[in-house]
Amino acid sequence: MIQVILPILAASLLSLSFSSFNLWLFAWFGFAPLFISLEKKTFFRSFVIGYLCGIAFWSLTIYWLIHVTLLGQIVLILYLAVYFGVFGCIIYLSRFLPSAAILFFIPCSWVLLEYLRSYLFTGFPWAQVGFSQYSNLPVIQIADITGSWGVSFLVVLTNTGLYLALRKRLKRGVFLICLCVLFLSLAYGFYRLSYKPVLCPAKDLLKVSVVQGNIPQDLKWDKQAAGGILNNYIALTQAAAKDGPGLIIWPEASLPFLWGEDAAIAQFRQVFSLAGQLKVSLLVGAVSRSGKAYFNSALFVNNLGQPAGIYNKLHLVPFGEYVPFKNTFPFLQAIAPIGDIEPGREYTIFEQPADFAVLICFEDLFPELSREFIKRGARFLVNITNDAWYKEGSAPYQHFAASVFRAVENHVYLVRSANTGISGFIDPFGRPLSIVHDAVGKNSFVRGYSSQNICLAPGRRTIYNRYGDLFVVFCLLLDSCVIIFILRKRK
C-alpha cells in the first residue's frame, strides 16, 4: 500500500504547486516521496511507480481539460505520464553512481525530459516544474541565462539533495556544492531585482490598455450573441480610451466574425471606425479566412481606422486547432471533432505605435518564438488568449506562469489580454502589474480593462535570448558522461 501512497503523495504536492493557491514551496520537496518509493525497486517496477505518479500528477494538474474533451484528456494524461515513468527508470540507474554524480544526474535528466516533452509530437510544455516558481521572483531571474530549464533544474536539485540528506548519503563536500549552486542562483536573482529603475525617456514611454470581455465559451460563436459581444468590447474600449493609451488590445478570437468574409464587412468596419474615432490603435483577435484556409489571427488597426497588418498564429494547439495524424489514424478525429486551422508562416512585427510582436494562446509556452520575435526587433511582447474553455480553476494561472518566464528570459515587458483572465502587464523582471480584477480582487472570469505605461527603451539582449538552450546542451553532455560511467562500471 505504501508503494501506492507515496507516489500519489508526491504527485499531490507537485500538483498543488501549480494550483491557483500558488503553493510554490511544495515543489521544493514534492519529489521526495517518489524517491523514497523507488528504493530497492527493479528497473520495471521503477517505471511502473513513476508512471503511476505521472498519472496522478497530470490528472490533478490538467483536470480542467475535461471541459473540452474527456477522451482527449485521458489520452494526453496516459501519454504525459510516460515521462514520469522514464524518470523512475533514471532514478533506478542513479543507484550505481556516487552521491556527487546523483546530485546532478537526476535534475539534468529531468530537464532533458521536460525539453523532450516540450517538442516531441509538436510539444506540450505545460506545467514545467520551473513554472511553479513564477511568483518566486529571486529564483526565476536566472531564466535570462538558462531559460525556464534552469529553474526546473534548481527545484529538482534541491529535492535530490534533501533526499540524499534524509538517507545520510549527502557528504559534506556534496552538500556544499548544492548549497553553493542555490546561493549563487539566489544571489544573482536578488542582484537583478536590486536594479534601480532608470527614468524612461518620454519618447520611449507607451501607454497600453488591455480589455477582458469575459465572454462565456458557449456564447463565443453564437450568432444571436455576436452583436452583444461586439458591443461589450466597444464599451470597454471606449472606457479604456479615456486613459489616453496609444494601443488597446483585445483577446484572442474576441471578434465573433470571420475576417475575409463578405458577410462580416459591416462588423469589421464598425471596429475600424471605432479606432479612427478614438484615434487609438487596436489589436483584435479574430479568425481569418484566405481562400479555403482558416487562421487564428491578430488583426492590427491603426489610429486612422485602417487595417494595417495581420499575424497568423505559427504554433497551433493539437486537438484544439487541428488533429495531428488524422489521415493516418482516423479515430483521432473522435477525440476532438474540430475543423482544421492552418499555421501561419511569418514572424510578423507590428511597427505602430511601437515595434511589438504577438503570441496567440499557448504560443507563449514556446520560448523560441519569443526569442525570435525579439531578435527581429520587437520591443515588447503581447499575448492574447482565451482560457474560457477550461472554466474556473487553475488553468489561467498555469498559463500566466509561462508568460512571466518569457518576459524574464528576454528582459522585456509582456502585455496580456485574456478573454476571462488573467489580463495585465508583466515587467522585465516578471513582476505582474495592473492586473484586471473586480472589487474584491478576483482576476479571472471578471469583466474590465487596465492601462499601464511600459518602457520601450532598448536594452541589451539577455544571454538566453542570444544563445538559447545552451543549458539543455550542458545537461545532455553531463548525462551522457554519467551514462558512459554507468556502462563501464556495469562491465
Q: Do the Cβ atoms of 238 and 278 come closer than 8 Å?
A: yes
CA proximity to 464, closest of 401, 376, 370:
370
- What's the number of CA atoms in the CB half-sphere (13 Å) around residue 236? 29
Q: Do the Cβ atoms of 83 and 116 come closer than 8 Å?
A: yes
- The residue whose grid cell reads 520537496 is 29
If 0-12 CB within 10 Å is exposed, 13-18 middle and 19+ buried, where does residue 142 land? buried
Dihedral over alpha carbons 18, 23, 27, 30 (to 10 degrees) = -100
Q: Which of 53, 178, 361, 455 does the annotation list as catalytic?
A: 361
Residues whose CB is less than 8 angstroms from the CB of residue 207 and which lie 6 or more positions away in sequence, other chains included: 243, 244, 245, 246, 451, 452, 453, 454
How many residues are given for the chain?
491
Q: Which helix (H) or strand (E) holds 281?
A: strand 281-290
Phi (first) and psi of residue 384, to 5 degrees: -110, 135
Can 252 be counted among the known catalytic residues?
yes
Q: Which of 313, 321, 342, 455 does the annotation list as catalytic?
A: 313
- The residue whose grid cell reads 540528506 is 165
Q: Report the chain's C-alpha Rg in angstroms.
A: 23
- The identity of residue 191, as a single letter, is Y
Q: Which of 53, 108, 178, 252 does the annotation list as catalytic?
A: 252
If 0-12 CB within 10 Å is exposed, 13-18 middle and 19+ buried, where does residue 322 land? middle
If 0-12 CB within 10 Å is exposed, 13-18 middle and 19+ buried, where does residue 145 land? middle
Taking residue 487's Cβ as centre, other Cβ atoms within 10 Å add up to 10
- The residue whose grid cell reads 516533452 is 117
- Cα separation, 105 vs 482, in Å, equals 7
Can 114 be counted among the known catalytic residues?
no
Task: Give the three cell numbers for residue 304.
Answer: 486612422
Phi (first) and psi of residue 423, to 5 degrees: -115, 145
Give the helix ranges, DSSP H, for 120-196.
137-140, 143-146, 148-166, 172-193
- The residue whose grid cell reads 554507468 is 486
- The residue whose grid cell reads 536594479 is 195
- Cα separation, 247 vs 300, in Å, equals 10
Q: Which helix (H) or strand (E) holds 211?
A: strand 205-212
Q: Which helix (H) or strand (E) holds 489?
A: helix 470-490
So which residues are the catalytic ones?
252, 313, 361
